[in-house]
């Protein structure tokens, strides 16, 4: 079987075993996350703010910059699909300037990466799969500057035990358009799967 045939068969199995009723718009996103993780619990924990899926797709079609909190999430995103939309993906976690500032201030690289991300011009899709301080930095800066704009959306699916649940709940209450995995589960694989599912739902992007 070819890779595409394997993927198609996997999706058929997922569809046959998925027990949670989902809206048509949400279903492909959830199925791709299950495909990436083999974890059906995401059908119950993935949470979508109103109209977030078309909003995120519009950002991508407008050439948004996708900014991730880890290079692992960055690596999992389909760059060819992004290029067809004249969009791009970046991660600042390995940036030496960020690393130096983290050493000097004692702040996490994720926190400082988000501060740097917010200086990038144009529409943005912010993607967090690992570090909750990436989200907490965003929420702090937006409270300070009131920069709640129509050209920013967030995928908040960090995994772990410290500040993870709290960061996700704060994000859901922030008013930002977002997709969140409630609870402790998540990860960079989940984050990139959501981005790819958004991309693949745009006609002509996946060839």
Instruction: Give catalytic residue positions.
Output: 35
Measured in Å, how far apart are the chain's first and last C-alpha atoms?
A: 18
Beta-carbon contacts of 113 under 8 Å, excluding residues fewer than 6 positions away, are 67, 69, 91, 92, 93, 95, 98, 134, 137
Element (DSSP H or E) covering residue 5: helix 3-17
- Separation of alpha carbons 147 and 150, rounded Å: 10
Q: Decide: 135 and 68 in contact? Cβ < 8 Å.
A: no
- Separation of alpha carbons 97 and 31, rounded Å: 38
Q: Decide: 117 and 111 in contact? Cβ < 8 Å.
A: no
Q: What are phi and psi of 153, to 5 degrees?
A: -145, 160
Token look-up 């600042």 returns 92
- The CA-atom distances, in angstroms, between 52 and each of 5, 49, 139, 152 are 30, 6, 18, 11
């Amino acid at each position: 079987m070819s890779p595409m045939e394997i993927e198609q068969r996997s999706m058929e199995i997922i569809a046959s075993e998925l027990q949670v009723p989902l809206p048509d718009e949400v279903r492909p996103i959830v199925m791709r996350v299950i495909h990436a993780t083999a974890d059906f619990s995401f059908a119950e924990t993935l949470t979508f703010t109103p109209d977030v899926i078309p909003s995120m797709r519009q950002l991508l079609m407008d050439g948004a910059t996708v900014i991730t909190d880890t290079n692992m999430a960055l690596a999992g995103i389909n760059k060819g699909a992004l290029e067809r939309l004249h969009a791009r993906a970046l991660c600042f976690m390995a940036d030496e300037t960020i690393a130096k500032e983290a050493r000097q201030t004692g702040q996490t690289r994720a926190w400082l990466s988000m501060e740097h991300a917010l200086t990038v011009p144009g529409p943005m899709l912010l993607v967090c799969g690992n570090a909750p301080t990436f989200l907490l930095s965003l929420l702090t800066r937006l409270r300070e500057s009131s920069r709640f704009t129509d050209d920013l959306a967030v995928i908040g699916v960090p995994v772990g035990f410290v500040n993870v649940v709290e960061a996700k709940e704060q994000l859901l209450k922030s008013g930002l358009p977002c997709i969140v995995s409630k609870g402790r589960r998540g990860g960079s694989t989940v984050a990139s799967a959501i981005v790819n599912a958004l991309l693949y739902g745009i006609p002509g992007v996946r060839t």
